[in-house]
Structure 1
Amino acid sequence: MAVMASFSSLESLDLAFVLKALAGTWVMWYLCGVFYNIFFHPLANVPGPLLCKFSKVPWDYWQWTGRLPQHTAKVHAKYGEVVRIGPNELSFTNNAAWNDIFAKVPGRAQWPRHPKRVPQGKNGPQSIMNTAGTYHARFRRLLNHAFSEKGLQEQQHLITKYIDLFVNKVDDFARTGQSIDVTKWFVMVGFDVISDLGWSEPFNCVENGEVHEWVESPSMGPELLRALPVPVPFPFPSRADELKFLFRERGLMFLAPYFIPMKLQLARLNNFKYARARVEERIKEGSARGDFWDKIAIKSADDNAGGEGLTKEEMVVAAVTLVGTGSHTISTLLTGLAYFLGTNPHAMKTLVDEIRSFFKSPEEIDLVSVHKLKYLTACLNETMRLYPPVINMLWRTPPRGGGYASGIFIPEGTGCNMSFFGIAQNPDYFTRPLDFCPERFMPDPPAEFLGDNHEAYHPFSLGAYNCLGQNLANAESRLIMTKLLWYFDFELDGKVDKDWLDQKSFGVFIKKDLPVKFRPGPNARSGLNGKPVKINGHANGGAK
């Protein structure tokens, strides 16, 4: 009878009262979480905006709007070198953090990639971008030689072919006085080079004067990163991250249409289909072409039966990753350098004089000789300081049990990142931090730059997970800019946006158009080396 009476009393409860009680309980739970994060969390003493200490709303909003790097730099300017930008996230701008978090030190546990910022799928093929441990080491072993200086010299004939074709195209434009959007053309030459190295078949963007549909696909651009779901800002730090992580797992892919536009999903499927066809053709060619795949083809044999190579599906993922990331890095670096040279006449003249006095003929310009140009190296370093090719993609987390960084104990599971903008704009690290001053990176810099802290500058990251393609980016950028300035003078078109550097970013910058006018210089001829370059059996025609 007592049980029946209890059920009867429950039925008589007012529904509104129950809802209010539940809402009140949730509010109390939320406020307890807020109170804990502000006053009792292990990171409570780390400075940062109050809202960021208990909510990820600011971080997610900055990321969604593409302004995360700029806002993080402002936060560092106000709060210091170590800042709490989320309930369980820290951002750093000091060189001590590079060594503590990223450097590989014998006898010390390595800080792994943050599993919720760089999710590692439990099923299906892996990518070098999200693998760790033995998986990552296997990828690196197979690709290290191809991206080494020696390996790139072996591939020089493939790289130079497309750069020479690009120079001939610029020559056509220079003789007509027509300005070109170098943002677009640097993307095209970058994709042609990397697609030949990565797939053994170029997109022929430069030859056709048009961006290939695979390149233009929205699924290959940085905008895709913006389409990832933004989680509800739960007060306890791990819940929101876990929600985002779950949406990326295959088990919840049925929810993807509600968060990722269908056109992006379809475009990505088509791109992988295209990549799979190219990889299968490359495998049939064997292992003696002199590109990325020579060693992979040997080690992988029949779908990686020996376990030392890559499966066919891993090859497809690797091809998409290498082609997509490699081209964006190089085109961003070159576009940024073109902008800075166009807005700094002294730097332009100094670099032109160096190139034209160092080389006596265009035949001397190759992947080895361009590394001897000290001022060009300084210009590239200064460009990467102010306009980094990759930004805000370095998330790490302490090893099991936690670890120390910048003298602070950081608990396991904390997300740790470096703020490239925060480092570059720190006047304690760089004199005249907002100015383009390549001289600061010269072997014998002027006195005003002797106090610059180059140890805080690592544009390609540091340690075991540093950028695999940094040698290619440096070599290709040097070769392209050297050949352009050997043959041509150039200036920015008057249409260039005065706020050109004010760009959104989603992992990499969403680059604005950069119209440039080239003029034949004293070394210009009718075509590179006096004759059209032949590519794939066809001579280069007029500019399109």
Structure 2
Amino acid sequence: MYGIIFGAVLLTSTLGWIIGSHVYRYFRDEKGLRRYPGMDWLAPFTNVAFMLESNKGFRSKRLQELHAKGMPVIRTGPNSLSYSDPKAIRDIYGHSTKCRKDGQYDILSGSHTHLADVTDSGEHARKRKVLSSAYALKNLEEWEFKVAYTTGRMINQFDKRCGGEIIDYRSWTNFFALDAIAYIGLSQPMGFLDAGNDRCISAGFDGSTKEVNFRECLYGTSTAQSILAWSYPWYKHIVSLSKLVSPRFRNYWNLNKDWDGIYLHQTNQRLARYVKGEELDDFFQALMHDKNGASHNLDFGEILAEISIMMNAGSTTTAIAMANVMYQLLINSEFMRRLQEELDSVLDDEDIVAPYEKVKYLPYLRACLDESLRLFPPTSHGLPRVTPPEGTSILGEYIPGGVTVSMSSYVVHRDPTIFPEPEKYNPDRWLGEAGKELGPYFVSFSAGARGCIGRNISYLEQTVALATMVHRYDITLARPDFVPDRRETFNLHPNELPIVLKLRQRVDELI
């Protein structure tokens, strides 16, 4: 009896202290953030508000709706601000900004950081120098044959399904992007396109192996992290608690272990070939040596971390982008027709896979890609940055040090002063001089020194794949009224894209 009473008193006291401390900090307003409206009534007091919004599955859309009501700065947590004014891009993400990646990247990183989650500026510069040759445009164009090969494997599968079969193009873009990045990065495709599924091996450090589904493991991991990561210093405690009280999150964290095992297995496989003396032209080789053959002397943990982000970010965003642009073209037949005309003017019937050299500078093809990336950026959420200890100026206002600031690409791409009729898919806005003027406000790959180093790989894959598909097939939605559902984790995922294919002309079968 006394134990129950003591437990109730302890619980009540703990909750009272937590609530009281949050209320005290709000009214104390040490950093002067109370002048900004909250995302909701709870947000100025606790990050739980943003976690709850994240759990709903589309927090960037909610922020966009609030910003559109005339709130250029919104308080998303006790110490977090969301911006919508495009002029804030340079202040938060530009090359000269003093803002750095915030503590969320630290809590999500493993024993070793990778290029995307390293927060220290000096360490970031070292990593970027190591990886710059691997991601250089010159290297990528030499690796074009790997993208062409992967596209050919996808076309082989699609040609077999041209008799009216419904194809989930969204799944196949996943298979394509994963095979392509594995071939580019590790000289060995995952084999997903040939198999028509994403079954693969996950390894343990004890040498055990098991079969898992790649996307289930990766997306389960990102779903859990994207909901709980906003708790910052409480993150590891909340992860432990979620394993105890939630079967849903317990499953996510089990999938997280399997995801760790996937890139461990892939790294071990490639490392074994490296130890045997195979000199392969891929990302892994560039990771191990510079262009003069000098070793980078990286720890295995760092190599593993870089392979993990290559297989994650290097596949997910491209797959999403491929599905999105196809959907937009299918519901805007005039734009599809114009793109086919542009492609037909440079591609021959024997160009089963579109040669990159022929299509890389086509203005309308690039406009179609960029407009889809604008409308539904694969990385949609505001990438969090922290103001320097001495504070900084954002939009002409002083923001104290240690404040998390961010801007969602989904939000900024819907600013009607920059992108008129922002909800409308209109590739023409990117053409000519007017299109060039939009460049500073296009942040699908972020901006500044921390902008996506893999954007050239993504454009290479997207360009060849879309040009090939549109030139080779007549494509229709399996259901004319189909609208994809979207769920936001750290990326904005469409759920499916059911299409039907028909060959546009008679061509020889692929080998």
TM range (shorter): 0.7 to 0.9
Alpha-carbon distance between aligned partners in 2 of 1:286 and 1:475, rounded to the nearest angstrom: 29
- Letter of the 1:517 partner, please give it: V
In the TM superposition, residue 260 of structure 1 has moved relative to its aligned partner by 4.4
The answer as to whether partners of 1:496 and 1:514 remain within 8 angstroms in 2 is: no
SS of 1:416's partner is: strand
In the TM superposition, residue 195 of structure 1 has moved relative to its aligned partner by 0.9
Report the equivalent of 2:177.
190
Q: How is 1:36-435 mapped onto 2 (pairs within 5 angstroms)?
A: 36-37=28-29, 41-49=31-39, 51=41, 52-105=43-96, 110-119=98-107, 124-132=111-119, 133-174=121-162, 176-213=163-200, 216-217=213-214, 220-228=217-225, 240-244=231-235, 260-261=250-251, 262-284=253-275, 286=277, 288-299=279-290, 308-360=296-348, 362-363=350-351, 365-392=354-381, 394-435=383-424
Runs of 4+ in 1 over 4 A off after TM superposition: 14-30, 229-233, 245-248, 253-260, 299-302, 361-364
**Does 436-445 or 40-49 show the bigger shift?**
40-49
Alpha-carbon distance between aligned partners in 1 of 2:13 and 2:467, rounded to the nearest angstrom: 71
The answer as to whether partners of 2:198 and 2:215 remain within 8 angstroms in 1 is: no
The answer as to whether partners of 1:223 and 1:506 remain within 8 angstroms in 2 is: no
Alpha-carbon distance between aligned partners in 2 of 1:63 and 1:320, rounded to the nearest angstrom: 24
| 1:194/1:231 CA distance change after superposition, 3 Å | closer
- Letter of the 1:153 partner, please give it: E
Report the equivalent of 1:526.
508
The answer as to whether partners of 2:229 and 2:235 remain within 8 angstroms in 1 is: no
Alpha-carbon distance between aligned partners in 1 of 2:447 and 2:238, rounded to the nearest angstrom: 30
The answer as to whether partners of 2:382 and 2:409 remain within 8 angstroms in 1 is: no
Report the equivalent of 2:207.
none
Alpha-carbon distance between aligned partners in 2 of 1:287 and 1:98, rounded to the nearest angstrom: 44
Alpha-carbon distance between aligned partners in 2 of 1:376 and 1:17, rounded to the nearest angstrom: 64
**Does 190-199 or 274-283 show the bigger shift?**
274-283
| 1:26/1:162 CA distance change after superposition, 3 Å | closer
Alpha-carbon distance between aligned partners in 1 of 2:6 and 2:81, rounded to the nearest angstrom: 44
SS of 1:296's partner is: helix
In the TM superposition, residue 277 of structure 1 has moved relative to its aligned partner by 2.0
| 1:26/1:188 CA distance change after superposition, 3 Å | closer
**Does 18-27 or 96-105 show the bigger shift?**
18-27
**Does 130-139 or 332-341 show the bigger shift?**
130-139
In the TM superposition, residue 504 of structure 1 has moved relative to its aligned partner by 1.2
Alpha-carbon distance between aligned partners in 1 of 2:243 and 2:370, rounded to the nearest angstrom: 40
The answer as to whether partners of 1:114 and 1:397 remain within 8 angstroms in 2 is: yes
Give the number of the structure whose alpha-carbon radius of gyration is greater.
1
The answer as to whether partners of 2:198 and 2:214 remain within 8 angstroms in 1 is: no
CA RMSD of aligned residues (A): 3.3
SS of 2:311's partner is: helix
Q: How much identity, in percent, do the aligned residues show?
A: 21
| 1:299/1:247 CA distance change after superposition, 3 Å | farther
| 1:380/1:23 CA distance change after superposition, 3 Å | closer
Alpha-carbon distance between aligned partners in 1 of 2:139 and 2:271, rounded to the nearest angstrom: 23
How many residues align structurally?
489
| Residue 31 in structure 1 maps to residue 14 in structure 2 | no
Report the equivalent of 1:443.
432
SS of 2:87's partner is: helix
Alpha-carbon distance between aligned partners in 2 of 1:247 and 1:300, rounded to the nearest angstrom: 44
Report the equivalent of 1:3.
none
Q: 2:445 aligns with which of 460, 468, 474?
A: 460
SS of 1:54's partner is: coil
Unaligned runs of 5+ in 1: 1-13, 234-239, 534-544
In the TM superposition, residue 349 of structure 1 has moved relative to its aligned partner by 0.4
Deviations 1:343-390 (A, max 9, x none): 001111011111001224555942233221111111111101111111
| Residue 480 in structure 1 maps to residue 465 in structure 2 | yes
| 1:217/1:293 CA distance change after superposition, 3 Å | closer
The answer as to whether partners of 1:352 and 1:485 remain within 8 angstroms in 2 is: yes
TM-score by length of 1: 0.81
Alpha-carbon distance between aligned partners in 2 of 1:42 and 1:267, rounded to the nearest angstrom: 44
The answer as to whether partners of 1:391 and 1:507 remain within 8 angstroms in 2 is: yes
In the TM superposition, residue 429 of structure 1 has moved relative to its aligned partner by 2.2
In the TM superposition, residue 157 of structure 1 has moved relative to its aligned partner by 1.8
Alpha-carbon distance between aligned partners in 2 of 1:169 and 1:55, rounded to the nearest angstrom: 50
| 1:34/1:275 CA distance change after superposition, 3 Å | same
Report the equivalent of 2:209.
none
Alpha-carbon distance between aligned partners in 1 of 2:117 and 2:474, rounded to the nearest angstrom: 42
**Does 260-269 or 318-327 show the bigger shift?**
260-269
In the TM superposition, residue 230 of structure 1 has moved relative to its aligned partner by 6.4
TM-score by length of 2: 0.86
The answer as to whether partners of 2:93 and 2:447 remain within 8 angstroms in 1 is: yes
| 1:526/1:77 CA distance change after superposition, 3 Å | same
Alpha-carbon distance between aligned partners in 2 of 1:223 and 1:142, rounded to the nearest angstrom: 30
| 1:322/1:410 CA distance change after superposition, 3 Å | same
In the TM superposition, residue 43 of structure 1 has moved relative to its aligned partner by 1.5
Alpha-carbon distance between aligned partners in 1 of 2:44 and 2:256, rounded to the nearest angstrom: 34
**Does 266-275 or 432-441 show the bigger shift?**
266-275
The answer as to whether partners of 2:217 and 2:256 remain within 8 angstroms in 1 is: no
